[in-house]
């Protein structure tokens, strides 16, 4: 499974979502100018990245079901 490129792309996409989420939560926790300036942008980027990650995960599941791989 680790040799499957779609799996690796899905894993990377999930980590990107996690990083964006953690930066957003950190900014929200600290507050201040950074939060006022970037909070909405970070959450928009998170939603876009999360949607792409879901698409890649569904593509991975579909590809695995077509090949019959365990």
Name the nearest CA neighbour of 10 among 67, 70, 64.
64
Distance (Å, whole) CA 11 – CA 43: 20
**Global pTM?**
0.82
| Cα distances (angstroms) measured from residue 29 to each of 12, 42, 49, 53 | 25, 14, 22, 26
Q: What is the pLDDT of residues 12-58, one digit of tens each?
A: 999 999 999 999 999 999 888 988 999 999 999 999 999 999 999 99
Distance (Å, whole) CA 6 – CA 2: 9
Distance (Å, whole) CA 13 – CA 51: 10
């Amino acid at each position: 499974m680790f040799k499957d490129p779609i799996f690796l792309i899905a894993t990377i996409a999930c980590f990107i979502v996690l990083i964006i989420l953690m930066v957003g939560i950190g900014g929200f926790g600290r507050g201040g100018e950074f939060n006022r300036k970037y909070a909405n942008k970070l959450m928009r980027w998170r939603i876009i990245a999360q949607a792409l990650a879901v698409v890649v995960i569904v593509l991975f599941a579909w590809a695995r079901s077509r090949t019959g791989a365990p």
